[in-house]
Structure 1
Amino acid sequence: MVKERARILVVGGGYVGMYTALRLQKKLKREIRRGQVEITVVSPDPYMTYQPFLPEAAAGSISPRHVVVPLRRVLDKCRVVIGEATAIDHGKRTATLSTLATEEEGTGTEELSYDELVLAPGSISRTLPIPGLAEHGIGFKTVEEAIALRNHVIEQLDIASSTRDPAIRDAALTFVFVGGGYAGVEALGELEDMARYAVRYYHNVQADDMKWILVEASNRILPEVGEEMGTYTVTQLRRRNIQVLLETRLVSCADRVAVLDDGQLFPTRTLVWTAGVKPHPVLAATDLPLTVHGRLKCTAELTIEGAAHAWAAGDAAAVPDVTADAPGTDTAPNAQHAVRQAKVLGDNIAHSLRAEPLQTYAHKYVGSVASLGLHKGVAQVYGRKLKGYPAWFMHRVYHLSRVPTFNRKARVLAEWTLAGLFKREIVSLGSLEHPRAEFELAAGGKPPHDPKGSN
């Protein structure tokens, strides 16, 4: 029984934010019903994105609406606020929020008081001051970016098919991905697979006309699946005529020319940046302790060091890995830990409110799976290495088991089943990004300018 009324603020609606709130709904059901506990979730989007499915959404294997989970439906016992926390003063137990309402009202921000804080804003793309990156780069961290990239790739095939200028054609058919982690390798693998299928419907574009290039600064890709599987992945990608350039860096993409530090130049209309992430900026706008890498200093019980009534997990938190052999090791910022940490975090907040002992988060990393396109993949799980179809199948089974809600599981499974029975969809809906363009033009206005020049 909670002894006094508690206002719990959850900052972030991603893995940790949603799963923690979901756990709190379950563990504190009676207290919520009696009005003793109030849970507020602040998220920039009204949904949680299941990011491992973004590559398949980009390739058209899964509908975009099925890789997101509506927060209001799942968190029906919570108050969901669409906005962002711009600053947190934990000493005063207040958070400064920028919401849709404050923007509309012109007030800028509002303050929200709380008793317990769960800080789980996730991470953002880590970029470098590379000339042309801000103007021409494409990210791959949100469902909007995944769908825009799919539309963009198909539009490039349309451009290549219709232009008479060989320079424009070559640039349209050159696709550069920077970053050899999960996001970069899986996105490239799925999109190359999709484009290879799509060109059979273009009378003057062949699969061999396309150039797919993966640029990685280190000497290996997919470090999570081990060195052997990483080497195997490089071999398989190169067999598909994908250039894998290791120990190579992008130094410029100005004027739509990808310039590498080894002197190679690639005129391209598609540069996808997946070279890592960094902590969310709101962490620097708090009075909470941070590591040298900008993550929150946490304990194994998922409390923030030296800050009572403050909790964190996921990408934003440096959580000690009590199962590691080397002391001082933190858990990796990935979904495997985030989902499990959220469960312990929700339980510990409930324990704290009831003056009960806290649990220690302990999970030994079991391995990783990665898709390289339809029926292709790599995996290393419990020390066992899998390649090709078995790894791809394990990738699908694992993520199907992890995607939230039975509703989403059923819809994703149905889409996979139908995709196996019918041909791929190769339609580009790029106009969705500017739905009012045609009407504005008809009404005498000017169509919106596309800064990436995808049209």
Structure 2
Amino acid sequence: MNTVTRPRILVVGAGFAGVECVRRLERKLSPDEADVTLVTPFAYQLYLPLLPQVASGVLTPQSIAVSLRRSKKYRTRIIPGGAIGVDLKSKVCVIRTITDQIVNEPYDYIVLAPGSITRTFDIPGLTDHAFGMKTLAEAAYIRDHVISQLDLADASQDPDERASRLQFVVVGGGYAGTETAACLQRLTHAAVKRYPRLDPGLIKWHLIDIAPKLMPELGDKLGSSAQEILRRRGIEISLGTSIAKAGPEEVTFTDGRVIPTRTLIWTAGVVASPLIATLGAETVKGRLAVAPEMNLPGNDGVFALGDSAAVPDLAKGDDGAMCPPTAQHALRQGKHVADNVIAALRGQSMQRYVHKDLGLVVDLGGTDAVSKPLGIELRGLPAQAVARGYHWSALRTNVAKTRVMTNWLLNAVAGDDFVRTGFQTRKAARLKDFEYTDAYLTPEQVREHIEGTGRRD
């Protein structure tokens, strides 16, 4: 075959699902069977579950950013940008490159794994004043910001300013919010010992969630254990509560309380990438409705998986149940979709996706953790060993595993240096600056763009 006639496989997104799919395609397809292209703004896979440990300084940023160019079998072409629209009829993906150039990328098979964005609500001031925890840059920025609040509070002569800089609010009682609050509280608790002018009692962390329970997936006993650990550390937990409005120096809770703070971290869930809405296809709660084989019914060569796809959870045996947006499912779906793409390419039958959840792990820092592997409830050091063992084994390369293990050991022995890098001091880093939700096209705009530019084959 020559290059022109080889089938073109386009994978959108370099998260767990997209990278696992690409790597399996590289291993199982011969070079002359198909051309594989990956669309991603960054040439690395981010290990999202460990972001709170980057924010708290336990891990360095590069330790959880796994390079996509280390594979010995690497042959995938990477387009540095983000997909902003897909025309299923023309089989063209519209991409905005990192230099803001708009290009059309035709495909024969497309795998949609664009992930998710932070779920926000119409709360006054939220996107202008809240930080997110979805990207490496946000985690690094939050670390600098939290340490800077200690520096500024120590230098301030105004007791009101000092109080507002030493109060921190995290919204979201899921895994991301709970681990973020836990890890950053440990950071401030350790750092304040280096500030003799600051009263440790002034540092207050608030974890709030509209749900009646913290991490309900863990069950009542483990959820209560996690709450007890956090409360013992001094974190104030408010359930059945959310944010009414946010300002630069205070946050108003829905129960009427006004908390003076310069730090609002929003981790209240995720929603599918806006890219899914550009397809004009059926969705379930914003996620693309796909068959158990993870293909889009009525559209040959279209597959979707991960956070942006409503994949039926056949393992639960519950009609209508969908796979949760977890790394565990994304990793396995990536491999499964690659196999189904290859089956479609070779004219073979595709297989349905079935995976039983192996359990949950929550790392609260230090020796504190709660885990539920295979339904077994663990607390303390055994739970911490399971949590870190799972994360360590899930890292894709030996280099990443070595870096993470070295960071953990060094932090355990030497503690943290509380260094504020200042790399992004003058760059905005609120929710509105990282989500880019206004970059996507409508289905009509996608069609107009393609008709106006012509389909590039």
Partner of 2:26: 25
Q: Is the 2:248–2:262 contact (alpha carbons within 8 Å) kept by the matching residues of 1?
A: no
The answer to whether structure 1 residue 330 and structure 2 residue 316 are counterparts is: no
Give distance in 2, aligned partners of 1:116 and 1:357.
16
Partner of 1:190: 183
Mapping 1:99-114, distance limit 5 Å: 99-101=97-99, 103=100, 108-114=101-107
Cα gap change, 1:112/1:219 in structure 2, threshold over 3 Å: closer, same or farther?
Answer: same
Cα gap change, 1:89/1:451 in structure 2, threshold over 3 Å: closer, same or farther?
Answer: closer
Q: Which runs of 5+ in 1 are unaligned?
A: 435-447
Q: Which runs of 5+ in 2 are unaligned?
A: 431-457
Deviations 1:370-429 (A, max 9, x none): 011211111112121111121112110000000111111112112222222223221111
Give distance in 2, aligned partners of 1:261 and 1:420.
39
Deviations 1:21-64 (A, max 9, x none): 01100010x2x1x3x31011001222111001101111111110
Work out which of the residue numbers 353, 373, 376 in structure 2 matches 1:381. 373
Give distance in 1, aligned partners of 2:404 and 2:84.
35
Q: Is the 1:72–1:80 contact (alpha carbons within 8 Å) kept by the matching residues of 2?
A: no
Q: Is the 2:132–2:266 contact (alpha carbons within 8 Å) kept by the matching residues of 1?
A: yes
Work out which of the residue numbers 228, 233, 239 in structure 1 matches 2:232. 239
Deviation (angstroms), 1:124:
0.3
Name the aligned partner's letter for residue 279 of structure 1.
A
Deviation (angstroms), 1:255:
4.3
Partner of 1:137: 130
Partner of 1:72: 69
- Aligned partner of residue 152 in structure 2, secondary structure: helix
Q: Is the 2:21–2:334 contact (alpha carbons within 8 Å) kept by the matching residues of 1?
A: yes
Q: Is the 1:88–1:287 contact (alpha carbons within 8 Å) kept by the matching residues of 2?
A: no
Give distance in 2, aligned partners of 1:8 and 1:451.
34
Deviations 1:54-109 (A, max 9, x none): 011111111100111122334721000111111111111111111135x2xxxx41
Name the aligned partner's letter for residue 306 of structure 1.
G
The answer to whether structure 1 residue 223 and structure 2 residue 216 are counterparts is: yes
Deviation (angstroms), 1:294:
1.2
Name the aligned partner's letter for residue 267 of structure 1.
P
The answer to whether structure 1 residue 37 and structure 2 residue 28 are counterparts is: no
Q: Is the 2:293–2:352 contact (alpha carbons within 8 Å) kept by the matching residues of 1?
A: yes
Indicate the percent of aligned positions where both proteins have the same amino acid: 37
Give distance in 2, aligned partners of 1:420 and 1:82.
37
The answer to whether structure 1 residue 8 and structure 2 residue 9 are counterparts is: yes
Mapping 1:227-306, distance limit 5 Å: 227-291=220-284, 293-306=285-298
Give distance in 2, aligned partners of 1:47 and 1:265.
41
Name the aligned partner's letter for residue 46 of structure 1.
A
Q: Is the 2:138–2:429 contact (alpha carbons within 8 Å) kept by the matching residues of 1?
A: no
The answer to whether structure 1 residue 312 and structure 2 residue 304 are counterparts is: yes
Deviation (angstroms), 1:111:
0.9
Give distance in 2, aligned partners of 1:130 and 1:449.
23
Deviation (angstroms), 1:354:
1.3
Q: TM-score, normalised by structure 2?
A: 0.90
Name the aligned partner's letter for residue 180 of structure 2.
A
Partner of 2:455: none
Deviation (angstroms), 1:227:
2.2
Partner of 2:439: none
Deviations 1:132-161 (A, max 9, x none): 212210001111111111111111111111
Name the aligned partner's letter for residue 161 of structure 2.
I
Give distance in 1, aligned partners of 2:322 and 2:248.
41
Partner of 1:437: none
Q: TM-score, normalised by structure 1?
A: 0.91
The answer to whether structure 1 residue 172 and structure 2 residue 165 are counterparts is: yes
Comparing 228-237 with 5-14, greater Cα deviation is found at 228-237
Name the aligned partner's letter for residue 202 of structure 1.
Y
Partner of 2:333: 341
Give distance in 2, aligned partners of 1:165 and 1:62.
34
Work out which of the residue numbers 420, 423, 436 in structure 2 matches 1:432. 423
Q: Is the 2:290–2:309 contact (alpha carbons within 8 Å) kept by the matching residues of 1?
A: yes
Partner of 1:87: 85
Cα gap change, 1:231/1:359 in structure 2, threshold over 3 Å: closer, same or farther?
Answer: same
Give distance in 1, aligned partners of 2:428 and 2:144.
14
Give distance in 2, aligned partners of 1:232 and 1:280.
34
The answer to whether structure 1 residue 350 and structure 2 residue 347 are counterparts is: no
Tell me how large the CA RMSD over aligned residues is: 1.7
Q: Is the 1:200–1:206 contact (alpha carbons within 8 Å) kept by the matching residues of 2?
A: no
Q: Is the 2:86–2:93 contact (alpha carbons within 8 Å) kept by the matching residues of 1?
A: yes
Deviation (angstroms), 1:357:
2.1
Name the aligned partner's letter for residue 411 of structure 2.
A
Work out which of the residue numbers 143, 148, 151 in structure 2 matches 1:158. 151
Deviation (angstroms), 1:219:
0.3
Q: Give the count of matched residue pairs.
A: 427
